Amino acid sequence: MLPIMLDLATLKAAYAAGLTPFDLVEEVIARRKASDDPAVFITETADEDLRAAAKSLMEKAPEPNSLPLWGVPFAVKDNIDVAGLPTTAACPAFAYQPEKDSVVVARLKAAGALVIGKTNLDQFATGLNGTRSPYGAPRSVFDKSYVSGGSSSGSAVSVAAGLASFALGTDTAGSGRVPAAFNNLVGIKPTPGLVPNVGVVPACRSVDVVTIFAATVGDGVAIRKVMDGYDAGDPYSRKAVPVGLPGSGLRIGVLEGAEREFFGNAAVEALYDQAIERAKSLGATIVPFDYAPFRQAAELLYNGPWVAERLAAVKEFIGTNADDFDPTVRTIIEGAKAYDAVAAFEGQYTLGHLRQKALVEWEKLDVLMLPTSPTTYTVEAMLADPIVKNSHFGRYTNFANLFGYAAIAVPGGFGPDGLPSGVTFFGPSFSDDALAPFADAMHRACASGMGKDKSAALPDASKVAEPDDGLVTIMVVGAHLTGMPLNHELTGPGGTLVKTCRTAGDYRLFVLPNTTPPKPGLIREPGFAGKGLEVEVWKVTPAAFGRFVQNIPAPLGIGKVTLEDGSQVSGFLCEPYAIEGAQEVTELGGWRAYIASRR
């Protein structure tokens, strides 16, 4: 029996064990029928068409997992063309039948993925909350009284509820990120221009991005790599020049002072603070920064001339079908009539000045980490104040595409009310791959599960590996810890701290007799049920590692140590004979605590 979440690693393993796409399709059909949210899909792929797609895949590629996304079910936001299914943009009067797939859908199908349906959205992708659709309002999978986030509402819910392995959304102001936060998912927002928009109904054509909702960062990145690549048919398509980030010791910008706005939601603010501490534990350097220029740029998207782009996208249709628009969407789009060409240029000038101010902040940062949304609301509250409350969701999202950034949203845990929150990592243009390892590490450290399944463990197979920086990783447990007497043997040759963490629970710690300064002896005892010991993971050059190991005195040596997350790293271990008669300090939890106890 398949688990709730149909992540790529789970499906790949199931297919290798004998599951077939025919079995998978029947499972999807059953799950769609059992769904308790009738507003997720606008158009479902017919059962027989799904079965035919599985048959076609088996004829084309009969070997299990022989294509990158072999037999993987996905949903598509209904402003993205899928041949054979109508595109509505959540406006029935606008609906048309596309003759061919959008570029991204065609690439995903060629990789073996199966479309299960077109999902609901805020009409014409105008909104961040998911209530602006005549097809109903998809709800948070954790509480049906709350919004699911928008505009890619149905896409997020389809993944979080286990109906699809991944789903496509679009993101102009945050629509590929806010629904991820509200449904405990990962949201991958590529750099504008990295993924083609041909076959996508535009919202703001110059800044629109096709996005991915997935169970893990690794899944999202793998799917994005199938989709991305220059396309001359898209006037805003760009040839990527990948940008790297430090493999360790990331400088992460966080909010401070008056820029920390959560609109009274103390639970989300507490979860953001927890995320900051989590980032520290993973070796990041936390740097408060001035969010003001980013916030001011964000305000331009709806309270500036960019709203005129939304009118440009539907100019002819709204001229003849204004009454077919959602009232809030119509109000926003018709507000564009207040802007002229002069205002458009003035907006560009303002954005340019704000970009320069933002660059000053980037001089002290590698990435930004912001709350994906500062709060959430019930459907009832949103409908009562749709424009103001929707704007709250975009406080930390709207600037991203205007500035051309890459972004990855990851889960950030659950508040006392049982509702999830999230944080988003932002990097420079084309830092998409470089952002992924730390974002993945943060998701794993949060241990919030995947989608609706809060207890699910993230598969090791989907883990995003750190880029190879040519350095050697080493774990230290005693006198080489930060602030301890021998730490200079790491920092002197330029070593950098990667993270502070704990070992697996079956390690014991002893004080070796007759050592100056005092040295620990770490041994592994299979079956020992401890809580793990605090250690640090560092990176050094191969030459420094060689000198370091050469100078280690017996009975110490370097071996593989298992950490609490199940990963293994080279680190200090002790030969068992040396602990005979030695003082055990395991219960203190680490060497630093032992040293403190002696004072």
Following DSSP, what letter does each residue of 255-302 receive, concatenated? --GGG---TT-HHHHHHHHHHHHHHHHTTPEEEE---HHHHHHHHHHH
Catalytic residue at 455?
no
Cα–Cα distance measured from residue 20 to residue 63, given in angstroms and rounded to the nearest whole number? 10
Contact in structure between 109 and 115 (CB atoms under 8 Å)? yes
Cα–Cα distance measured from residue 330 to residue 343, given in angstroms and rounded to the nearest whole number? 21
Cα–Cα distance measured from residue 468 to residue 464, given in angstroms and rounded to the nearest whole number? 12
Radius of gyration of the chain, Cα coordinates, nearest whole angstrom: 26
| Of residues 55, 48, 47, 107, the one with CA closest to residue 76 | 107
Tell whether the torsion through CA atoms of 306, 308, 309 and 311 is positive or negative: positive
Catalytic residue among 153, 158, 175, 248: 175
Q: Which residue has 């993924």 as its token pair?
A: 195
421: left (phi over 0), alpha (psi -120 to 50) or beta: beta
Catalytic residue at 337?
no
Catalytic residue among 102, 133, 140, 151: 151
Catalytic residue at 151?
yes
Cα–Cα distance measured from residue 387 to residue 385, given in angstroms and rounded to the nearest whole number? 6
Q: Which residue has 């991204």 as its token pair?
A: 104
Here the tokens at position 296 are 């001011």
**Backbone phi, psi, residue 335, to 5°:** -65, -20
Please give the distance of CA 311 from its chain centroid, rounded to a whole number: 31
Catalytic residues: 77, 151, 175
